Amino acid sequence: MGGVSPHLEDLPLRDDLRGMTPYGAPQAPLPVALNVNENTHPVPQEVADDIMDSIALALRDVNRYPDREFTDLREGFADYLGHGLTREQIWAANGSNEVLQHVLQAFAGPGRTAFGFAPTYSMYPLLARATGAEWIAGTRGADYTVDASDAAAQVADAAPDVVFLCAPNNPTGTPLGLDVIEAVYDAAPGVVVVDEAYFEFAPRDERSALTLLPGRERLVVSRTMSKAFAFAGARVGYLAADPAFVDALRLVRLPYHLSALTQAAASAALRHASTMLRMVDEIVSQRDRISATVEALGYTPHESWTNFVLFGGVADPAATWQALYDRGVLIRDVGIPQHLRVTAGTEDETTAFLDALASVGSNA
């Protein structure tokens, strides 16, 4: 439910945390939940069985601390990512949020700054401020695009210690060209994080920022198993970077931060990557169906390379959000005026959303 306790202000809280609000996407038990960009297709049964067997095996040794270096899992991510990556270049944690937190703990912190092009992922400023760093919001061009020379100029001007490039961007769905990443890297004095949480939903022939890693030791590419991999509840995110960068993250992580059960579950899921990812094409077709249908209803969907659609032309987002809620459909008001964001669900969930939106009626 979120909300800050009325007594919080009476505690000897850090000054820089006063007045902050925790992350609080509503977790309501509605029949159709399309608000936090999960993969709404369950893990296929044959994969679930193998994950269960792997967890059962790991449980036999659960009296011992897990492999602190999660070697097998890093090997699995290196194999999955390809591009000649080796396990020394891989890091992982409990969700990519924790991966990003490790980056900020090592490279941001008090007296330092982190930067992103707003509107972007709402967790970046929260994670940055929690390490004591200051958040700097850059700007986007028309339709939320970012252009290489403008981006480089903004970054050169702000000279941040950490830059976040969300590619494609949440909450807008906007693709980001590799030319922008190269230009920002050259202009940035510090670390550049390319967050590819939604990369698997981009067109198949698109190049990943992973191809830019060689020779760029301040560049990192983060990914997550929460979206395409249908593994949000397991909490597993990861990144690829130079081995020296990975060593920096070891300075700030808690020892044994990835439990033996998490490691076992994630390694098993990775062995079935193609099965885990088989719903991606179906989700992409539901996403495109959402874009086409909301446009036909008179709204303005933005281009999306993700598993969600941000659409504008919503006269009263709070009222439309509530009307959908009352019809059993949960979507997201991301705070952009006249906009709402919806995750592509299964065909039935997507139909339920589109029917509900149509029944809400005129957006005038």
Ligand X SMILES: *Cc1c(COP(=O)(O)O)cnc(C)c1O
352 vs 194: CA distance, rounded Å: 34
**Closest CB to ligand X among residues 227, 332:** 227
Asked if residue 237 binds ligand X (CB under 6 A), the reply is yes
Q: How buried is 163 (Cβ within 10 angstroms: 0-12 exposed, 13-18 middle, 19+ buried)?
A: buried
How many residues sit in the footprint of ligand X (CB under 6 A)? 14
CB of 308 to ligand X, least distance (A): 9
Asked if residue 170 binds ligand X (CB under 6 A), the reply is yes
DSSP state letter for 194 = E
CB of 321 to ligand X, least distance (A): 19
CB of 262 to ligand X, least distance (A): 12
| Segment interacting with ligand X (CB under 6 A) among 51-59, 94-102, 143-151, 327-335 | 94-102
CB of 189 to ligand X, least distance (A): 23
CB of 15 to ligand X, least distance (A): 27
C-alpha separations of 308 from 110, 171, 256 in Å: 35, 8, 34
CB of 67 to ligand X, least distance (A): 21
User: Which positions ≥6 away from 258 have C-beta within 8 Å?
Assistant: 66, 70, 73, 92, 93, 94
Binding mask 107-126 toward ligand X (x if CB under 6 A, else -) reads: --------------x-----
Q: Which residue is nearest to ligand X (CB)?
A: 95
CB of 224 to ligand X, least distance (A): 3
361 vs 364: CA distance, rounded Å: 9
Tell me the sheet residues that pair with 192: 163, 219
Q: Are strands 134-138 and 113-117 parallel, antiparallel or unpaired?
A: parallel
Asked if residue 267 binds ligand X (CB under 6 A), the reply is no
First-residue to last-residue Cα distance in the chain:
31
Instruction: Scan for tokens 């449980």, then name that residue.
Output: 59
**Closest CB to ligand X among residues 104, 356:** 104
Let me know: does 99 contact 92? Beta carbons within 8 Å. Answer: yes
**Closest CB to ligand X among residues 37, 131:** 37
Residue 356 CB: number of other CB atoms within 10 A? 19
Asked if residue 101 binds ligand X (CB under 6 A), the reply is no
120 vs 138: CA distance, rounded Å: 10
**Closest CB to ligand X among residues 96, 286:** 96
Asked if residue 195 binds ligand X (CB under 6 A), the reply is yes
CB of 170 to ligand X, least distance (A): 4
Q: Which of 136, 166, 309, 334 is close enough to bind ligand X by CB under 6 A?
A: 166
Q: Which segments of 229-279 does DSSP mark as H helices, in order?
A: 243-250, 260-271, 273-276
Q: Are strands 191-195 and 162-166 parallel, antiparallel or unpaired?
A: parallel
CB of 97 to ligand X, least distance (A): 3
| Segment interacting with ligand X (CB under 6 A) among 9-17, 57-65, 72-80, 224-232 | 224-232
Instruction: Scan for tokens 């997550």, then name that residue.
Output: 224
Let me know: does 197 contact 227? Beta carbons within 8 Å. Answer: yes
Q: Which of 35, 105, 174, 226 is close enough to bind ligand X by CB under 6 A?
A: 226
Q: How buried is 153 (Cβ within 10 angstroms: 0-12 exposed, 13-18 middle, 19+ buried)?
A: middle
Q: How many CA atoms lie within 13 A of 120 on its CB side?
A: 29
Q: Which of 35, 37, 174, 304 is close enough to bind ligand X by CB under 6 A?
A: 37
Binding mask 334-353 toward ligand X (x if CB under 6 A, else -) reads: --------------------
**Closest CB to ligand X among residues 35, 293:** 35
Q: Which of 224, 262, 291, 350 is close enough to bind ligand X by CB under 6 A?
A: 224
Which residues of the shown chain bind ligand X in the complex (CB under 6 A)? 37, 95-97, 121, 166, 170, 195, 197, 224, 226-227, 232, 237
